[in-house]
Protein backbone atom coordinates (compact mmCIF):
# COMPACT_ATOMS: atom_id res chain seq x y z
CA UNK A 1 0.00 0.00 0.00
CA UNK A 2 2.67 2.48 1.05
CA UNK A 3 4.82 1.39 -1.85
CA UNK A 4 2.01 2.12 -4.26
CA UNK A 5 1.48 5.53 -2.72
CA UNK A 6 5.16 6.29 -3.05
CA UNK A 7 5.07 5.28 -6.70
CA UNK A 8 2.14 7.62 -7.19
CA UNK A 9 3.97 10.48 -5.52
CA UNK A 10 6.99 9.79 -7.67
CA UNK A 11 4.96 9.91 -10.87
CA UNK A 12 3.45 13.19 -9.69
CA UNK A 13 6.87 14.71 -9.36
CA UNK A 14 7.80 13.29 -12.76
CA UNK A 15 4.79 14.98 -14.33
CA UNK A 16 6.06 18.33 -13.15
CA UNK A 17 9.64 17.58 -14.05
CA UNK A 18 9.24 19.39 -17.36
CA UNK A 19 9.56 22.52 -15.25
CA UNK A 20 10.77 25.42 -17.34
CA UNK A 21 13.37 27.95 -16.27
CA UNK A 22 10.77 29.19 -13.74
CA UNK A 23 11.04 32.77 -14.94
CA UNK A 24 8.82 35.03 -12.89
CA UNK A 25 6.02 36.02 -15.31
CA UNK A 26 4.68 39.53 -15.63
CA UNK A 27 1.63 39.98 -13.42
CA UNK A 28 -1.21 42.40 -14.05
CA UNK A 29 -4.35 42.79 -11.94
CA UNK A 30 -7.35 45.08 -12.02
CA UNK A 31 -10.19 46.38 -14.14
CA UNK A 32 -12.36 44.04 -16.17
CA UNK A 33 -12.66 46.78 -18.81
CA UNK A 34 -8.93 46.88 -19.40
CA UNK A 35 -8.61 43.08 -19.04
CA UNK A 36 -9.31 42.24 -22.74
CA UNK A 37 -6.70 44.75 -23.90
CA UNK A 38 -3.96 43.61 -21.55
CA UNK A 39 -4.69 39.97 -22.37
CA UNK A 40 -4.43 40.78 -26.09
CA UNK A 41 -1.01 42.34 -25.49
CA UNK A 42 -0.02 39.37 -23.32
CA UNK A 43 -0.93 36.95 -26.08
CA UNK A 44 0.96 38.93 -28.71
CA UNK A 45 3.90 39.13 -26.29
CA UNK A 46 4.13 35.33 -26.11
CA UNK A 47 3.46 34.91 -29.82
CA UNK A 48 6.43 37.15 -30.57
CA UNK A 49 8.73 34.80 -28.77
CA UNK A 50 7.60 31.44 -27.37
CA UNK A 51 10.43 31.39 -24.83
CA UNK A 52 8.90 34.25 -22.88
CA UNK A 53 6.98 33.46 -19.72
CA UNK A 54 3.26 34.02 -20.31
CA UNK A 55 2.02 37.09 -18.42
CA UNK A 56 -0.64 36.37 -15.81
CA UNK A 57 -3.59 38.73 -15.95
CA UNK A 58 -6.37 38.77 -13.38
CA UNK A 59 -9.63 40.63 -13.68
CA UNK A 60 -10.60 41.70 -10.17
CA UNK A 61 -11.80 45.30 -10.67
CA UNK A 62 -9.92 48.60 -10.57
CA UNK A 63 -10.17 49.18 -6.83
CA UNK A 64 -9.13 45.67 -5.81
CA UNK A 65 -6.39 45.91 -8.42
CA UNK A 66 -4.92 49.03 -6.83
CA UNK A 67 -5.09 47.43 -3.41
CA UNK A 68 -3.10 44.39 -4.58
CA UNK A 69 -0.74 46.58 -6.62
CA UNK A 70 0.03 48.82 -3.66
CA UNK A 71 0.72 46.00 -1.21
CA UNK A 72 4.41 46.20 -1.83
CA UNK A 73 7.34 45.78 -4.12
CA UNK A 74 8.89 42.40 -4.84
CA UNK A 75 8.27 39.28 -6.83
CA UNK A 76 5.10 38.31 -4.97
CA UNK A 77 3.30 41.54 -5.83
CA UNK A 78 1.79 42.49 -9.21
CA UNK A 79 3.77 44.63 -11.63
CA UNK A 80 0.89 46.29 -13.40
CA UNK A 81 -2.50 47.58 -12.27
CA UNK A 82 -5.20 47.79 -14.94
CA UNK A 83 -7.64 50.59 -14.21
CA UNK A 84 -10.69 52.12 -15.82
CA UNK A 85 -10.30 55.21 -13.62
CA UNK A 86 -7.43 57.28 -12.30
CA UNK A 87 -5.60 56.22 -9.20
CA UNK A 88 -6.84 58.09 -6.13
CA UNK A 89 -4.52 60.06 -3.91
CA UNK A 90 -5.32 57.75 -1.00
CA UNK A 91 -4.34 54.76 -3.12
CA UNK A 92 -1.09 56.43 -4.11
CA UNK A 93 -0.36 57.13 -0.46
CA UNK A 94 -1.04 53.50 0.37
CA UNK A 95 1.50 52.53 -2.30
CA UNK A 96 4.08 54.86 -0.81
CA UNK A 97 3.42 53.56 2.70
CA UNK A 98 4.38 50.12 1.41
CA UNK A 99 7.45 51.61 -0.28
CA UNK A 100 6.35 50.82 -3.80
CA UNK A 101 8.26 53.86 -5.01
CA UNK A 102 7.83 55.53 -8.34
CA UNK A 103 4.85 54.55 -10.48
CA UNK A 104 4.30 55.10 -14.18
CA UNK A 105 0.82 56.16 -15.19
CA UNK A 106 0.15 55.13 -18.77
CA UNK A 107 -3.09 56.01 -20.49
CA UNK A 108 -3.66 53.24 -23.01
CA UNK A 109 -6.73 54.77 -24.63
CA UNK A 110 -10.33 55.56 -23.98
CA UNK A 111 -13.47 53.66 -23.32
CA UNK A 112 -16.58 55.49 -24.37
CA UNK A 113 -19.50 56.03 -26.63
CA UNK A 114 -20.62 58.98 -28.70
CA UNK A 115 -23.88 59.87 -30.38
CA UNK A 116 -23.85 61.42 -33.80
CA UNK A 117 -26.15 62.41 -36.61
CA UNK A 118 -25.71 63.25 -40.25
CA UNK A 119 -24.25 66.65 -41.10
CA UNK A 120 -27.60 67.80 -42.54
CA UNK A 121 -29.54 66.63 -39.48
CA UNK A 122 -31.38 68.80 -36.94
CA UNK A 123 -28.31 69.04 -34.65
CA UNK A 124 -30.13 67.96 -31.50
CA UNK A 125 -28.71 68.95 -28.14
CA UNK A 126 -29.58 66.24 -25.64
CA UNK A 127 -29.08 65.43 -22.00
CA UNK A 128 -28.61 61.99 -20.49
CA UNK A 129 -32.07 62.37 -18.98
CA UNK A 130 -33.57 62.88 -22.47
CA UNK A 131 -31.72 59.83 -23.75
CA UNK A 132 -32.94 57.73 -20.86
CA UNK A 133 -36.56 58.82 -21.29
CA UNK A 134 -36.39 58.25 -25.03
CA UNK A 135 -34.61 54.89 -25.08
CA UNK A 136 -35.44 53.00 -21.89
CA UNK A 137 -37.88 50.12 -22.28
CA UNK A 138 -39.69 51.12 -19.09
CA UNK A 139 -38.70 54.65 -18.10
CA UNK A 140 -39.59 55.24 -14.47
CA UNK A 141 -41.17 51.80 -14.35
CA UNK A 142 -43.86 52.41 -17.02
CA UNK A 143 -43.72 51.21 -20.64
CA UNK A 144 -42.20 53.76 -22.99
CA UNK A 145 -44.73 55.55 -25.18
CA UNK A 146 -42.52 58.41 -26.42
CA UNK A 147 -42.55 58.65 -30.20
CA UNK A 148 -40.78 61.97 -30.78
CA UNK A 149 -38.05 63.87 -28.96
CA UNK A 150 -40.72 66.46 -28.14
CA UNK A 151 -42.58 63.84 -26.07
CA UNK A 152 -39.45 63.44 -23.99
CA UNK A 153 -38.53 67.06 -23.51
CA UNK A 154 -40.84 69.91 -24.64
CA UNK A 155 -37.87 72.05 -25.66
CA UNK A 156 -36.85 69.52 -28.30
CA UNK A 157 -38.33 69.45 -31.83
CA UNK A 158 -41.06 66.94 -32.75
CA UNK A 159 -38.69 64.67 -34.66
CA UNK A 160 -39.35 60.93 -34.39
CA UNK A 161 -36.96 59.09 -32.11
CA UNK A 162 -34.79 56.87 -34.30
CA UNK A 163 -31.55 55.67 -32.76
CA UNK A 164 -29.26 53.10 -34.34
CA UNK A 165 -26.91 51.33 -32.00
CA UNK A 166 -24.91 48.22 -31.26
CA UNK A 167 -26.49 44.89 -30.21
CA UNK A 168 -26.61 43.65 -26.65
CA UNK A 169 -23.42 41.60 -27.05
CA UNK A 170 -21.42 44.75 -27.62
CA UNK A 171 -19.12 46.43 -25.13
CA UNK A 172 -20.08 49.76 -26.66
CA UNK A 173 -23.66 49.15 -25.63
CA UNK A 174 -22.54 48.26 -22.11
CA UNK A 175 -20.63 51.51 -21.95
CA UNK A 176 -23.64 53.43 -23.27
CA UNK A 177 -25.84 51.91 -20.58
CA UNK A 178 -23.31 52.54 -17.85
CA UNK A 179 -22.33 56.08 -18.83
CA UNK A 180 -25.59 57.46 -20.24
CA UNK A 181 -28.64 55.41 -19.29
CA UNK A 182 -27.84 54.87 -15.63
CA UNK A 183 -26.97 58.50 -14.79
CA UNK A 184 -29.96 59.59 -16.92
CA UNK A 185 -32.22 57.29 -14.94
CA UNK A 186 -30.93 58.61 -11.64
CA UNK A 187 -31.47 62.18 -12.85
CA UNK A 188 -34.98 61.60 -14.21
CA UNK A 189 -36.29 59.38 -11.48
CA UNK A 190 -35.33 60.25 -7.93
CA UNK A 191 -36.90 57.03 -6.73
CA UNK A 192 -34.31 55.12 -8.73
CA UNK A 193 -31.60 56.36 -6.39
CA UNK A 194 -33.17 54.32 -3.65
CA UNK A 195 -33.46 51.44 -6.11
CA UNK A 196 -29.81 51.73 -7.03
CA UNK A 197 -29.00 51.29 -3.39
CA UNK A 198 -31.32 48.30 -3.23
CA UNK A 199 -29.16 46.50 -5.81
CA UNK A 200 -26.35 46.41 -3.32
CA UNK A 201 -28.66 45.17 -0.60
CA UNK A 202 -30.01 42.60 -3.04
CA UNK A 203 -33.61 43.71 -2.66
CA UNK A 204 -35.00 44.50 -6.06
CA UNK A 205 -32.21 44.55 -8.63
CA UNK A 206 -34.47 43.13 -11.34
CA UNK A 207 -36.84 46.07 -11.16
CA UNK A 208 -34.01 48.60 -11.21
CA UNK A 209 -32.43 46.90 -14.20
CA UNK A 210 -35.72 46.72 -16.00
CA UNK A 211 -36.60 50.36 -15.41
CA UNK A 212 -33.17 51.95 -15.70
CA UNK A 213 -30.91 49.78 -17.82
CA UNK A 214 -33.08 47.97 -20.34
CA UNK A 215 -33.23 49.52 -23.82
CA UNK A 216 -36.60 49.53 -25.61
CA UNK A 217 -37.16 47.09 -28.45
CA UNK A 218 -40.38 48.47 -29.93
CA UNK A 219 -38.82 50.30 -32.87
CA UNK A 220 -37.20 53.63 -31.95
CA UNK A 221 -33.95 51.84 -31.03
CA UNK A 222 -32.61 49.83 -33.94
CA UNK A 223 -29.97 47.20 -33.44
CA UNK A 224 -27.56 47.49 -36.36
CA UNK A 225 -25.27 44.58 -35.60
CA UNK A 226 -21.62 44.66 -34.64
CA UNK A 227 -20.53 46.56 -37.72
CA UNK A 228 -20.39 50.22 -36.76
CA UNK A 229 -19.82 51.17 -40.39
CA UNK A 230 -23.40 50.19 -41.12
CA UNK A 231 -24.60 52.74 -38.58
CA UNK A 232 -22.49 55.42 -40.22
CA UNK A 233 -24.04 54.54 -43.60
CA UNK A 234 -27.54 54.55 -42.11
CA UNK A 235 -27.03 58.03 -40.72
CA UNK A 236 -26.17 59.46 -44.12
CA UNK A 237 -29.41 58.06 -45.50
CA UNK A 238 -31.67 59.26 -42.69
CA UNK A 239 -30.91 62.79 -41.45
CA UNK A 240 -33.23 62.41 -38.46
CA UNK A 241 -31.47 59.32 -37.15
CA UNK A 242 -28.94 59.26 -34.34
CA UNK A 243 -26.21 56.65 -34.16
CA UNK A 244 -24.35 55.23 -31.17
CA UNK A 245 -20.79 53.99 -31.68
CA UNK A 246 -17.24 54.23 -30.51
CA UNK A 247 -15.53 57.59 -30.77
CA UNK A 248 -13.07 56.36 -33.37
CA UNK A 249 -15.86 56.04 -35.94
CA UNK A 250 -16.93 59.63 -35.44
CA UNK A 251 -13.34 60.75 -35.79
CA UNK A 252 -12.99 58.82 -39.04
CA UNK A 253 -16.21 60.17 -40.53
CA UNK A 254 -16.07 63.68 -39.10
CA UNK A 255 -16.62 65.09 -42.62
CA UNK A 256 -20.03 63.39 -42.83
CA UNK A 257 -21.18 63.26 -39.22
CA UNK A 258 -21.99 65.72 -36.48
CA UNK A 259 -21.35 64.63 -32.91
CA UNK A 260 -24.40 65.16 -30.70
CA UNK A 261 -23.79 67.45 -27.75
CA UNK A 262 -24.67 65.86 -24.42
CA UNK A 263 -25.47 68.36 -21.71
CA UNK A 264 -23.77 71.09 -23.70
CA UNK A 265 -20.52 69.20 -24.29
CA UNK A 266 -19.67 67.93 -27.74
CA UNK A 267 -17.74 64.72 -28.19
CA UNK A 268 -14.35 66.13 -29.03
CA UNK A 269 -10.99 64.61 -28.26
CA UNK A 270 -10.32 67.24 -25.71
CA UNK A 271 -13.64 66.94 -23.92
CA UNK A 272 -13.40 63.15 -23.71
CA UNK A 273 -9.86 63.26 -22.42
CA UNK A 274 -10.56 65.97 -19.84
CA UNK A 275 -13.60 64.00 -18.71
CA UNK A 276 -16.08 66.80 -19.51
CA UNK A 277 -17.92 64.66 -22.03
CA UNK A 278 -20.03 62.20 -20.06
CA UNK A 279 -19.72 59.33 -22.56
CA UNK A 280 -15.99 58.80 -22.27
CA UNK A 281 -13.48 57.68 -19.73
CA UNK A 282 -9.76 57.12 -20.02
CA UNK A 283 -8.26 53.70 -19.38
CA UNK A 284 -4.92 53.31 -17.66
CA UNK A 285 -2.26 50.88 -16.72
CA UNK A 286 -0.08 51.67 -13.71
CA UNK A 287 3.41 50.20 -13.65
CA UNK A 288 5.91 49.89 -10.82
CA UNK A 289 9.09 51.53 -12.00
CA UNK A 290 11.27 49.31 -9.85
CA UNK A 291 9.80 46.23 -11.48
CA UNK A 292 10.61 47.30 -15.03
CA UNK A 293 14.25 46.32 -14.64
CA UNK A 294 13.69 43.50 -12.18
CA UNK A 295 11.08 41.53 -14.14
CA UNK A 296 12.33 40.06 -17.36
CA UNK A 297 10.51 41.34 -20.44
CA UNK A 298 8.66 44.22 -18.74
CA UNK A 299 10.12 46.87 -21.02
CA UNK A 300 9.34 44.76 -24.11
CA UNK A 301 5.82 44.22 -22.85
CA UNK A 302 5.22 47.93 -22.38
CA UNK A 303 6.78 48.75 -25.75
CA UNK A 304 4.49 46.20 -27.36
CA UNK A 305 1.51 47.78 -25.61
CA UNK A 306 2.51 51.12 -27.09
CA UNK A 307 2.53 49.72 -30.64
CA UNK A 308 -0.82 48.04 -30.18
CA UNK A 309 -2.87 51.00 -28.91
CA UNK A 310 -2.42 52.95 -32.14
CA UNK A 311 -5.56 53.84 -34.14
CA UNK A 312 -6.47 50.78 -36.27
CA UNK A 313 -4.12 48.76 -34.10
CA UNK A 314 -4.87 45.39 -32.56
CA UNK A 315 -6.48 46.89 -29.44
CA UNK A 316 -8.66 49.17 -31.52
CA UNK A 317 -10.10 46.05 -33.17
CA UNK A 318 -10.95 44.73 -29.73
CA UNK A 319 -12.89 47.88 -28.92
CA UNK A 320 -10.37 50.29 -27.42
CA UNK A 321 -10.90 53.91 -28.42
CA UNK A 322 -7.50 55.19 -29.39
CA UNK A 323 -6.42 58.17 -27.34
CA UNK A 324 -5.69 61.43 -29.17
CA UNK A 325 -2.24 61.60 -30.74
CA UNK A 326 -0.72 63.88 -28.13
CA UNK A 327 -1.89 61.60 -25.31
CA UNK A 328 -0.48 58.59 -27.15
CA UNK A 329 2.82 60.36 -27.65
CA UNK A 330 2.89 61.30 -23.98
CA UNK A 331 2.12 57.71 -22.94
CA UNK A 332 4.80 56.34 -25.25
CA UNK A 333 7.24 58.85 -23.79
CA UNK A 334 6.38 57.79 -20.24
CA UNK A 335 7.13 54.18 -21.20
CA UNK A 336 10.30 54.95 -23.11
CA UNK A 337 11.83 57.28 -20.54
CA UNK A 338 10.26 55.90 -17.38
CA UNK A 339 8.68 59.19 -16.29
CA UNK A 340 7.12 58.72 -12.88
CA UNK A 341 3.66 59.90 -11.92
CA UNK A 342 3.53 63.19 -10.05
CA UNK A 343 1.23 62.58 -7.04
CA UNK A 344 0.25 66.27 -7.03
CA UNK A 345 -1.92 65.53 -10.10
CA UNK A 346 -4.05 63.04 -8.23
CA UNK A 347 -6.95 63.79 -5.98
Q: Which residues bind other proteins (CB under 8 A)?
A: 1, 5, 8-9, 12, 15-16, 18-20, 22, 24-25, 27, 35-36, 39-40, 42-43, 46-51, 53-60, 74-76, 169-171, 314, 318
N-to-C CA span, the chain: 64
Give the residue with the Cβ less far from other proteins, 19 or 255. 19
d(CA 13, CA 1): 19
- Of 43 and 261, nearer to other proteins (C-beta) is 43
- Taking the C-alpha atoms of residue 166 and residue 271, their distance in angstroms, rounded to an integer, is 23
Residue 67 CB, nearest approach to other proteins (Å): 13
In terms of CB distance, is 191 or 314 closer to other proteins? 314
By C-beta, is 18 or 344 nearer to other proteins?
A: 18
User: Least separation, in Å, of the C-beta of 278 and other proteins?
Assistant: 24
What does the DSSP assignment read for 130-174? Answer: HHHHHHBSSGGGS-----BHHHH-TTS--PBP-EEE--TT-HHHH
**To the nearest whole angstrom, how small is the minimum distance from the Cβ of residue 336 to other proteins?**
18
CA distances from 341 to 1, 202, 211 (A): 61, 39, 42
Minimum CB separation of residue 208 from other proteins in Å reads 22
Residue with Cβ nearer other proteins (27 or 258): 27
In the bound complex, what is the minimum distance in angstroms from residue 21's beta carbon to other proteins?
9
CB 174: neighbour CB atoms within 10 A? Answer: 16
Task: Find out whether 207 and 229 touch, Cβ atoms under 8 Å.
Answer: no
| Residue 61, SS3 per DSSP | coil
CA distance 218 to 147: 10
Closest CB to other proteins among 18 and 206?
18
Choice between 9 and 194, CB closer to other proteins: 9
Q: Whole-number minimum distance, CB 111 to other proteins, in Å?
A: 14
The whole-angstrom separation of Cα 1 and Cα 52 is 42
**Minimum CB separation from other proteins for residue 136, in Å?**
23
- Are 144 and 136 in contact, with CB atoms under 8 Å apart? yes
CA 66/CA 273 separation, integer angstroms: 22
Amino acid sequence: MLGRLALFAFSAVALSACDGGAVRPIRAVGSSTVFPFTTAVAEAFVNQDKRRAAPVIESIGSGAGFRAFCEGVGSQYPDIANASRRMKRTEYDQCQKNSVGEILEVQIGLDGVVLAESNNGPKLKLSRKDLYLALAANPMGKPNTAKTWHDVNPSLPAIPIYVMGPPSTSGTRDAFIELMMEPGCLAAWPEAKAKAKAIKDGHDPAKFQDACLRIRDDGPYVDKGENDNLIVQGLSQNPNAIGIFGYSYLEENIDRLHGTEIEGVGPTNNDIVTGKYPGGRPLYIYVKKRHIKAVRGMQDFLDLYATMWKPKGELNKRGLIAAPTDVQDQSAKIIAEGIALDPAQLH
